[in-house]
Structure 1
């Protein structure tokens, strides 16, 4: 037999939820509140906000230090929606920002009077999103960081203590007699009564079915004075008394059951402090499976036969403790189980339509009727809805100001779309693609989800045709880049300058209307599976020609799925991008010499032609001639006729900003000034633009690329070998190509004469 000692010892060490958090007396709970006020004085809305902020983190601004930034942050949602999930949900940048705006709105308070509906088309991942959100909420609420406490009453049976032993003895004898005569049912009832009487001899617990916060048992009219005495005049006290999110602690009332018990005990004990000695605080344990703290209803879940719940044993004990009169009715509804928790409806259909109607009074007044009693409910109310079901709420005008929609359209961020493919098919899929081709597959999918007309984009760029070598005529490819938080380098300086905060906000706002049509998440996974299994081979990486063939075949079946000419525009943008990568990988001009030339030029524009000066930054002797100026201006592509104006503008920028503000005031070196950085980037860009010209005219260079990594490559002269090797290594190091991919992309650029094609259209 196998020794089970170690296995059983490990099991014995396991602690269930909240075992480390004992039940506290009211006085002990107050000490904990003083020690950890921000954690223990929270309602469900504050816990929800803290949970999101705990699992979500922002990584970067949309444009770094850009003064026109609109706070379009890149949030990392991995811990919230992916880690530990059987079915991860991938939130794109647009939805992550939308969700965080929704969460931030809770800080103003008063959110219990709304139902939050997550609205999106079929296949957008709404159910996956909500299930993962609730799973994380349950995990956080049961952790030490997210824990809260609820009321449990510990009451005594004072009037029965004197005669309990004789009652037990008689009951046991009768039970033995009935059992010996075969009357087991009567015997069981007497044994149960005996056990009850033993319990009645001491204390018994009455948990609050509505999960009331213990501090709500402090009478409402003295709470402000109580908290004023409880806390020092510190920051938490200021927050407690001034912030909207803490208003509940002064305004909310305990449930009807707790109020009734309090009132009856006060009549009996005549002292509020003695009443509070009967109040204990225990951890509020969330359990979705049991409907405690979180209840989720699917459309097919039938309504309960009995909406009113009770506990006969607790009711008998309460009657006994209250002098035999039924002064406290231990009655509650299913809504009590999610009070200070989450009540969620998965799709507003079938039985969930009726449940939504029942929520009307709760949403409006926070009150639900349980027979003759009023039951207060303060829960987070969530629902999922498809667009076609909105007509239900349009007919109910009472819901008009009680509903807040949070849109979950199809994914519009291409990076997120690619993450979905990696999750479903494995991260190894990248190895089968040339760089950027996998992301271009995602671009095609997203293009089906975007509207072709965008007023915000048209207002910003009135002549899209000027970007025909990089973008489509509807500017969808540009919009995709903006949705990821990226501003493409091929935009003109004028358009970048005009891309102000107002325009950015308008474009991002338009995203609310995108993602409601086109290929769903399920469709895209199915199509990617078909594409990948068709073209993934060991000896050939998936390239743009394969992608083009696949989607053109698909477009023949549905001609309206993509805008006309989109695939051609995508190919041109790809060609431009890979051409720049190859150029940059071959570029190895003397960076130090370029820097000296630019510094000398910036210094030299302050003098007239014919002067001889020593540059105070490089120490070189400068003869200020036309040839001196043209050496740099040619590389900056400044026409001779424009040279005087350009020199004057450069001189003004140097004296008014670079020298006086950045260098003298801020202590920056000249190489870190805005003027130098601008000229350097333009200088290098133009050099890179022409770097391929001498090589493409060299037939030996072209053949050497094709023979790279083969024995024939050694037959070429040393200069060509060095150039080709340098280019291949940079493509792998800087742009993450594999060795095979670097060779294939160079051959692609050369065979398609991309440098010549773009230069003919005035693109460097």
Structure 2
């Protein structure tokens, strides 16, 4: 019994929501408004926007200083759609950016009076997306961070003298004699409830069925002046009176029930102050299962027959207070339950077609007729739809301008595709792959979802064959990188500069018409399962040869994968791992390189034959053509044309005088090694040095054997220099690129045996 008592005591003293859901007076509510106006004065559209700020945040721009940035940022949507979800939804970068942009537009109010339909092919996760979004919204709206207040009236019986309710009760008792058993029981319950209310409470509590904010009870004509006096002259007050997002607080009217109560009370009490003593506020509690604040309808859910809802007990008590059954009519539609909340349709078919048609006037006018009463509806309307279901609403052309389609395609971001594999099969799958191979599997899958021809890509790079060493003929591999927010290093300087904001927007814009065909999300998981179970058993790390063999052997997939894609992917992989090996083998005297670059930046400003002291290094420089030419060839390559050397010299001198010296060093006080010019020269200098880093080792057979024997007893027999170079190489591959020791050895042997250094040497 002690255990039972302790358990019950814990329930009694534990987390209890009822304590902070008690109504508070209008005056107490106003104090809350003054204390935290941003949280209290907001409608459903602002709360929806705040939800994304809370769980998604600002996002990360990998190129923050790029003048051609289009704010295509990386949003972490895991808190919104993944964490704690029974069925996680993975929003790729493209969809996340579209969604966040729509949500930001929602806040301003410009996108209200619309229904947002998320459409996409089968297997893209539409229903999962909406369910997870609504679950998180419900949680957030019931937390302090997302909480809003709604109106509840506490009608004071003492201030509203009324006629004896005995006659009303007597009439019900009289009708009991003439009623059926079920009717008798219902009317008996009404009599008992009225008696209890009358004897136990000095109030008749009337909740606003439309969940109106208590501030809307202030007469519209007086609201602007009231709010002006309520707030000090601060940043919020300025925002309140100027930001379009807050127009609703000045324009919206309370529901007809609240309006009728106010009018009836002001007639009786003759004082607005006394009326507002009966206005209270209570937190707006959301409960999807009860349809309170959130209602979700599936196609098979039959429409309710009772389109007009009321509360007969409450109506009788209101009639008693005002001695007039027509003065305050407590009737409303089912839409009231989700007013200032979310009304959602799962698939536009069957009964949901009827519901969507019914929404036409509601969305267009923001009104719904309940008998002869006009009921305001300010809800967020959401739906999901399959492409083939669009025919169900084609005949309603007048509705088309009220629909905003937001496409949920198959995943087009390779990083997100990989995250799905990790979620389904476990994060340990990475241990079975050489680095980049798992992502290359995702690239093959995504290639089936992209258009073969991209006008935006061809307008940017009209001759794709110049990148045949790194990319496919359709530029899909490059487009995938752009979709992930990454600009590849292998692009020429000229093409990098040509990737303007306008071009980037066009490329990203094409994604709205992609991902509607190809290998679906469900099928990609099945294909990966077959691939993984086939090769993970071998005990060897899964490499590109296994990946290519697998897809070449899948005859049913050949039609989905673009011709030549696998060969191009292998070439890109070879180029990438060659850069990793070079980067890992490369070490240099950074101090010496810094000195050479700074001397060059200074020297280009003087004519050959001059002798000057560098202001950055204090080196005495004899500036000659040979000195400048030598540095430039170390920058660009020994066989580069003279005209390109001179162009580099000219561009460096122009950048130095117009920006580096005058703006960054003299005005901003920036150290010369942090200037844009220095960083650019250093990147190009190091790149060219790395291009040649493997040359001394290619002809040395001992180097290859030492890699193979690494960490074994035979490794100790090699020359000290070779041991140091190999150890440095393996350690860097493991540290920088997540290779295991076994993987680092395998990739080095692969690079040497396939002669990658010579294959990718520029002619």
TM-score by shorter chain over 0.5: yes
Residues 68-217 of structure 1 mapped to structure 2, 5 A cutoff: 68-157=68-157, 193-194=191-192, 196-201=194-199, 202-217=202-217
Q: Where does residue 438 of structure 2 map in the other structure?
A: 438
C-alpha separation in 2, matches of 1:155 and 1:94:
53
Determine if the alignment matches structure 1 residue 469 to structure 2 residue 464: no
Q: Where does residue 413 of structure 2 map in the other structure?
A: 413
C-alpha separation in 1, matches of 2:280 and 2:621:
87
User: Quick one: structure 1 residues 650 and 364, their matched pair in 2 at CA, closer, same or farther if it must change by over 3 Å?
Assistant: closer
Deviation of 1:162 (Å): 10
Q: Give per-residue Cα distances to partners, 1:340-375, cap 9 Å, x unaligned.
A: 110000110111011101111101111222233322
Q: Where does residue 575 of structure 2 map in the other structure?
A: 576
Q: Where does residue 297 of structure 1 map in the other structure?
A: 297
After TM superposition, the structure 1 stretch with the greater mean CA deviation from structure 2, 595-604 or 420-429, is 595-604
Determine if the alignment matches structure 1 residue 529 to structure 2 residue 546: no
User: Quick one: structure 1 residues 17 and 411, their matched pair in 2 at CA, closer, same or farther if it must change by over 3 Å?
Assistant: farther
Q: Decide whether the 8 Å contact of 2:33 with 2:40 is kept in 1.
A: yes
Q: Where does residue 358 of structure 1 map in the other structure?
A: 358
Q: Decide whether the 8 Å contact of 2:162 with 2:320 is kept in 1.
A: no
Deviation of 1:722 (Å): 1.0
Find 1:676's aligned residue among 675, 678, 681: 678
Q: Decide whether the 8 Å contact of 2:471 with 2:568 is kept in 1.
A: yes
Q: Decide whether the 8 Å contact of 1:157 with 1:320 is kept in 2.
A: no
Q: Where does residue 342 of structure 2 map in the other structure?
A: 342
Q: Give per-residue Cα distances to partners, 1:8-57, cap 9 Å, x unaligned.
A: 44433332336324311122222222222222111111111111211111
Tell me the SS of whatever aligns to 1:89: coil
Q: Give per-residue Cα distances to partners, 1:636-692, cap 9 Å, x unaligned.
A: 215474456654554454445434443333333333333333332222111111111
Tell me the SS of whatever aligns to 2:382: strand
Deviation of 1:186 (Å): 7.9
Paired residues, what number? 750
Q: Where does residue 585 of structure 2 map in the other structure?
A: 586
Deviation of 1:611 (Å): 5.5
Q: Where does residue 316 of structure 2 map in the other structure?
A: 316
Deviation of 1:749 (Å): 0.9
C-alpha separation in 2, matches of 1:196 and 1:571:
80
User: Quick one: structure 1 residues 350 and 646, their matched pair in 2 at CA, closer, same or farther if it must change by over 3 Å?
Assistant: closer
Tell me the SS of whatever aligns to 1:112: coil
Deviation of 1:5 (Å): 5.8
Deviation of 1:111 (Å): 3.6
User: Quick one: structure 1 residues 605 and 192, their matched pair in 2 at CA, closer, same or farther if it must change by over 3 Å?
Assistant: closer
Deviation of 1:629 (Å): 4.1
Q: Decide whether the 8 Å contact of 1:434 with 1:737 is kept in 2.
A: yes
Deviation of 1:471 (Å): 0.5
Q: Where does residue 373 of structure 2 map in the other structure?
A: 373
User: Quick one: structure 1 residues 693 and 303, their matched pair in 2 at CA, closer, same or farther if it must change by over 3 Å?
Assistant: same
Q: Decide whether the 8 Å contact of 2:367 with 2:375 is kept in 1.
A: yes
Q: Where does residue 243 of structure 1 map in the other structure?
A: 243
User: Quick one: structure 1 residues 340 and 617, their matched pair in 2 at CA, closer, same or farther if it must change by over 3 Å?
Assistant: closer
User: Quick one: structure 1 residues 259 and 617, their matched pair in 2 at CA, closer, same or farther if it must change by over 3 Å?
Assistant: closer
Tell me the SS of whatever aligns to 1:58: coil
Deviation of 1:498 (Å): 0.8
User: Quick one: structure 1 residues 161 and 461, their matched pair in 2 at CA, closer, same or farther if it must change by over 3 Å?
Assistant: closer
Tell me the SS of whatever aligns to 1:60: coil
C-alpha separation in 1, matches of 2:690 and 2:259:
78
Determine if the alignment matches structure 1 residue 557 to structure 2 residue 520: no
User: Quick one: structure 1 residues 106 and 163, their matched pair in 2 at CA, closer, same or farther if it must change by over 3 Å?
Assistant: closer
User: Quick one: structure 1 residues 5 and 389, their matched pair in 2 at CA, closer, same or farther if it must change by over 3 Å?
Assistant: same
Q: Decide whether the 8 Å contact of 2:162 with 2:322 is kept in 1.
A: no
Q: Where does residue 733 of structure 2 map in the other structure?
A: 731
C-alpha separation in 2, matches of 1:230 and 1:88:
45
Q: Where does residue 717 of structure 2 map in the other structure?
A: 715
Deviation of 1:755 (Å): 1.2
Please provide the CA RMSD for this pair: 2.8
Deviation of 1:407 (Å): 1.4
Q: Decide whether the 8 Å contact of 2:124 with 2:409 is kept in 1.
A: yes
C-alpha separation in 1, matches of 2:117 and 2:85:
23
C-alpha separation in 2, matches of 1:416 and 1:86:
18
C-alpha separation in 2, matches of 1:64 and 1:607:
34
Q: Give per-residue Cα distances to partners, 1:50-78, cap 9 Å, x unaligned.
A: 11211111332252211111111111112
Q: Give per-residue Cα distances to partners, 1:717-759, cap 9 Å, x unaligned.
A: 1111111111000001111111111111111111211112222
C-alpha separation in 2, matches of 1:476 and 1:259:
60
Q: Decide whether the 8 Å contact of 2:24 with 2:280 is kept in 1.
A: yes
After TM superposition, the structure 1 stretch with the greater mean CA deviation from structure 2, 736-745 or 202-211, is 202-211
Q: Where does residue 746 of structure 1 map in the other structure?
A: 748
Q: Decide whether the 8 Å contact of 1:89 with 1:125 is kept in 2.
A: yes
C-alpha separation in 2, matches of 1:7 and 1:751:
70
Q: Where does residue 32 of structure 2 map in the other structure?
A: 32
C-alpha separation in 1, matches of 2:7 and 2:501:
61
After TM superposition, the structure 1 stretch with the greater mean CA deviation from structure 2, 497-506 or 568-577, is 497-506
User: Quick one: structure 1 residues 154 and 653, their matched pair in 2 at CA, closer, same or farther if it must change by over 3 Å?
Assistant: closer
After TM superposition, the structure 1 stretch with the greater mean CA deviation from structure 2, 315-324 or 69-78, is 315-324
Tell me the SS of whatever aligns to 2:410: coil
Determine if the alignment matches structure 1 residue 264 to structure 2 residue 238: no
C-alpha separation in 2, matches of 1:238 and 1:657:
39
Q: Decide whether the 8 Å contact of 2:162 with 2:321 is kept in 1.
A: no
User: Quick one: structure 1 residues 263 and 692, their matched pair in 2 at CA, closer, same or farther if it must change by over 3 Å?
Assistant: same
C-alpha separation in 2, matches of 1:583 and 1:191:
85
User: Quick one: structure 1 residues 715 and 187, their matched pair in 2 at CA, closer, same or farther if it must change by over 3 Å?
Assistant: closer
After TM superposition, the structure 1 stretch with the greater mean CA deviation from structure 2, 258-267 or 422-431, is 258-267
Deviation of 1:105 (Å): 1.1
Q: Give per-residue Cα distances to partners, 1:151-185, cap 9 Å, x unaligned.
A: 112224468899899999x9xxx9xxx9xxxx999
Q: Where does residue 254 of structure 1 map in the other structure?
A: 254
C-alpha separation in 1, matches of 2:152 and 2:196:
20
Residues 431-510 of structure 1 mapped to structure 2, 5 A cutoff: 431-510=431-510
C-alpha separation in 2, matches of 1:758 and 1:622:
37
Deviation of 1:705 (Å): 1.1
Q: Decide whether the 8 Å contact of 1:62 with 1:69 is kept in 2.
A: no
Q: Decide whether the 8 Å contact of 2:336 with 2:377 is kept in 1.
A: yes
C-alpha separation in 2, matches of 1:36 and 1:625:
69
C-alpha separation in 2, matches of 1:752 and 1:631:
32
Find 1:704's aligned residue among 694, 703, 706: 706
Deviation of 1:630 (Å): 4.8
C-alpha separation in 2, matches of 1:191 and 1:563:
72
Tell me the SS of whatever aligns to 1:665: coil
User: Quick one: structure 1 residues 260 and 590, their matched pair in 2 at CA, closer, same or farther if it must change by over 3 Å?
Assistant: same
Q: Name structure 2 gaps, 5 residues minimum.
A: none
Determine if the alignment matches structure 1 residue 662 to structure 2 residue 661: no
Deviation of 1:146 (Å): 1.3
C-alpha separation in 1, matches of 2:161 and 2:605:
105
User: Quick one: structure 1 residues 547 and 215, their matched pair in 2 at CA, closer, same or farther if it must change by over 3 Å?
Assistant: same
